[in-house]
Structure 1
Amino acid sequence: MYKIEYVESVQDDLLDISKSNKERIRRAIEKKLATNPIEFGQPLQYSLKGLRRLRVGDYRIIFQIEENKKVVLVVKIGHRKEVYG
């Protein structure tokens, strides 16, 4: 089991997301990232190398795995059109 931690700015990311989508995102983090983030998260490239993403509908959860600490650090959550910029 991995511990989930969040960058402070993630709270701002959630302000514009509907309640139902927030719930879907929360469940995905609990069920997928907390149990096996390597299996469920796809590695990113270029300027985001070292980070991974998890798809939840039209939203993306950008995260980093700290394997030695068994921690998943959620860096950003947002709509797929905006999250990578």
Structure 2
Amino acid sequence: MTKKKWSLTFTRDAEKKFLKLDKPIQKRFQKYIQKILDSGDPREFGKPLKSNLAGLWRYRIGDYRLICVIEDTQLVITTVDLDHRKDVYDTH
């Protein structure tokens, strides 16, 4: 049985935030994202959020957080936000 092949997309705002990160942090994100995509099940590494953030998933990458929506029917993970852990939940 072959693993599902997931893809990752960014919202425009999330992409802008990603490009503003320092290059070493971007590389860390890319390595972690590849691990998620290769796993076959993106929920294996994430944590579901609750309350007003229900339906979103959080991925912890050092002091940063990646906030995503997992779309099973299309095998797509959409990054809706990323930021330092002290700031990421303030915008939602």
Q: Distance in 2 between matches of 1:4 and 1:11?
A: 11
Largest Rg, 1 or 2 = 2
- Does structure 1 residue 74 correspond to structure 2 residue 74? no
* Count of paired positions: 84
The aligned counterpart of 1:11 is: 15
The aligned counterpart of 2:69 is: 64
Extract unaligned runs of 5+ from structure 1. none
Extract unaligned runs of 5+ from structure 2. none
- The structural deviation recorded for 1:16 is 4.0
Divergent runs of 4+, >3 A: none
Q: Distance in 1 between matches of 2:76 and 2:8?
A: 6
TM-score, normalised via structure 2 length: 0.84
CA RMSD of aligned residues (A): 1.1
TM-score, normalised via structure 1 length: 0.90
